[in-house]
Amino acid sequence: MIDVNITLKMISNIEAIPAFSDNYIWILINGNSAAVVDPGDASAVDNFLNENNLNLESILITHHHFDHTGGIIDLASKWNPKVFGPKGGHINGIDLELSENAKIEILDTEFCIFETPGHTLDHIAYYSEDIDSLFCGDTLFSGGCGRLFEGTPLQMFNSLKKFSDLPEETRVYCTHEYTLSNLTFALEVEPNNDDLKKYFEEVSTLRDSNKMSLPSSISLENKINPFLRTSIEEVKANAENYANKKDLQPVEVLATIRDWKDNF
Ligand code: ZN
Ligand code: FE
C-alpha cells in the first residue's frame, strides 16, 4: 500500500521557558523535535526537554549577550543540536553563521534572517512566514526596544523598520517580559493613544496574575510602540518637548525617546 496521506509537517507549538528574572527562552516544537531561541540557561531548557520527551535539534542565537548564549555549550554537549547565530566568530559554539536574507530550515519550517543592529552590532532576528512568527531577541520589545549598547539610533531605526513592515498578523516573540514598564513609559510619550491605554490595562491585569504578556503582534506594536511611531505627531511633539528642540526627524525622535527612556 502506498501512503497517500500528505501531512504538512511544520512547527506546531511555541512555548516559553522562563529563565533568570525576566527572560523567556522560546521553544519551537514539531512532533518530538524542538529548537530553542537564546538559551541563556541550559538547565531550564534541559528540564523542559526531559519533561516533555523532546529532542533538541537546533539552537537559534540572536546576539552575544550572556543571558541569550550562556546555555549553548552545555546544551550542545548533551543534545548535539545544530547551532545558528550571528556572523563574526565571537560566540562560542556557533556551527552556522548567518547574515541578512539567509534562509534556513528549522523543524521543516523556513526562516529568513534579518540583520538588526542597534542593541548590539551583531544582532539578528529570525522570521518565518510559514508560521507568521518573528523572534526578535532584544531588538524589539512589546511597547519598547532594546537599549543602544553598541549601535546607533539610525541602525536601530532601520532594524525596527524591517519589523514594522512585516505582515500585521506576525506574532512577535521578544526575549524579555518588559512590557508593563515599557507601556508605563509609552504613556508618557503618547498619553492620548487609546489603543495604548487599553493595552496597558490588559497587560496590567495579566501581570497581576503573573501571566506573560507575549507574544505580541506587528499590528499591535505598530499601534502602541512609540519606537515604531516616530512619525506620529504626538510622539514627535513630546520628543521635541523633552529635547527642547524643534523639527526633529524620525531618527532623532527615536534617539530622543531612547535617551528619555534610559533616564525614566
Ligand atoms: Zn541583550
Ligand atoms: Fe537580553
Shortest-distance ligand to the CA of residue 22 = 2
Report the pLDDT value the prediction gives residue 9, as an integer from 0 to 100: 83
Predicted confidence band at 240 (pLDDT cuts at 50, 70, 90)?
A: very high
Give the separation between CA 219 and CA 204, rounded to whole angstroms.
20
Report the pLDDT value the prediction gives residue 206, as an integer from 0 to 100: 98
Residues with CB under 5 A from ligand 1 (ion): 65, 138
Expressed in angstroms and rounded, the spacing between residue 137 Cα and the centre of ligand 1 is 7
Would you state the cell numbers that stand for residue 15, as one nine-digit string?
512555548
Q: 59: closest CA among 80, 31, 30?
A: 80
Q: Burial, 82: exposed, middle or buried (Cβ in 10 Å; 0-12, 13-18, 19+)?
A: middle
Q: What are phi and psi of 229, to 5 degrees?
A: -125, 35
Report the pLDDT value the prediction gives residue 5, as an integer from 0 to 100: 52
Q: What is the DSSP letter of 163?
A: H
Q: List all residues 6 or more positions away from 31 whose beta carbon is below 8 Å from its beta carbon.
A: 9
CA angle 156, 110, 144 (to 5 degrees): 25
Report the pLDDT value the prediction gives residue 110, as an integer from 0 to 100: 98
Q: Domain 13-262: give its CATH code.
A: 3.60.15.10
- Read off the pTM: 0.96
Amino acid at position 77, single letter: S
Give the separation between CA 214 and CA 135, rounded to whole angstroms.
11
Expressed in angstroms and rounded, the spacing between residue 176 Cα and the centre of ligand 1 is 9
Give the separation between CA 90 and CA 22, rounded to whole angstroms.
25
Percent of the chain with pLDDT over 90: 97
Give the separation between CA 163 and CA 24, rounded to whole angstroms.
20
- pLDDT tens for residues 166-184? 999 999 999 999 999 999 9
CA angle 170, 171, 176 (to 5 degrees): 140
Question: Where exactly are the structural domains of the chain?
Answer: 13-262
Shortest-distance ligand to the CA of residue 150 = 1
Predicted confidence band at 105 (pLDDT cuts at 50, 70, 90)?
A: very high
- Taken in order 175, 180, 186, 192, the sign of the CA dihedral is positive
Report the pLDDT value the prediction gives residue 7, as an integer from 0 to 100: 58
In contact, 131 and 33? CB cutoff 8 Å: no
- pLDDT tens for residues 124-138? 999 999 999 999 999
Q: List all residues 6 or more positions away from 67 whose beta carbon is below 8 Å from its beta carbon.
A: 19, 20, 23, 38, 40, 175
Expressed in angstroms and rounded, the spacing between residue 63 Cα and the centre of ligand 1 is 7
Expressed in angstroms and rounded, the spacing between residue 186 Cα and the centre of ligand 1 is 21
- pLDDT tens for residues 139-160? 999 999 999 999 999 999 999 9
Expressed in angstroms and rounded, the spacing between residue 102 Cα and the centre of ligand 2 is 23
Give the separation between CA 137 and CA 140, rounded to whole angstroms.
7
Expressed in angstroms and rounded, the spacing between residue 236 Cα and the centre of ligand 2 is 28
Question: What are the C-alpha distances in Å from 63 to residues 116, 161, 177, 217, 232?
Answer: 10, 19, 18, 22, 30
Task: Give the mean pLDDT of the chain.
Answer: 97
Shortest-distance ligand to the CA of residue 64 = 1
Q: What are phi and psi of 35, to 5 degrees?
A: -135, 145
- pLDDT tens for residues 51-75? 999 999 999 999 999 999 999 999 9
Expressed in angstroms and rounded, the spacing between residue 97 Cα and the centre of ligand 2 is 20
Residues composing the chain: 264
